[in-house]
């Protein structure tokens, strides 16, 4: 008897479809429970502030640089 046959393929396909739907359902529940929108509202301003802070840091550093490599 062959391991790969039509019956095993159908059973495997059905098992995969059921497992996929169960995982989707579980992930939807986790996202709703954790409140990802609240987290996103906190992360975006923090990322913007970090980007602005980094730009200001490098801008100030470039202004203070007089071209003398021995200072660094």
The pLDDT mean for the chain works out to 80
* Across 24-30, average pLDDT: 84
What is the distance between the alpha carbons of residues 69 and 66, in angstroms, rounded to a whole number? Answer: 9
Banded model confidence at residue 29, pLDDT cuts 50, 70, 90: confident
Answer positive or negative: Cα dihedral of 22, 28, 29, 30.
positive
pLDDT of residue 65: 65
pTM of the predicted protein model: 0.40
Residue 44 confidence class, pLDDT cut points 50, 70, 90: confident
């Amino acid at each position: 008897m062959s391991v790969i046959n039509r019956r095993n393929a159908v059973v495997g396909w059905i098992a995969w479809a059921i497992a996929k739907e169960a995982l989707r359902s579980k992930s939807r529940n986790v996202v709703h429970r954790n409140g990802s929108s609240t987290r996103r509202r906190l992360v975006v301003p923090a990322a913007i502030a970090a980007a602005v802070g980094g730009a200001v840091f490098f801008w100030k550093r470039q202004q203070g640089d007089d071209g003398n490599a021995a200072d660094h």
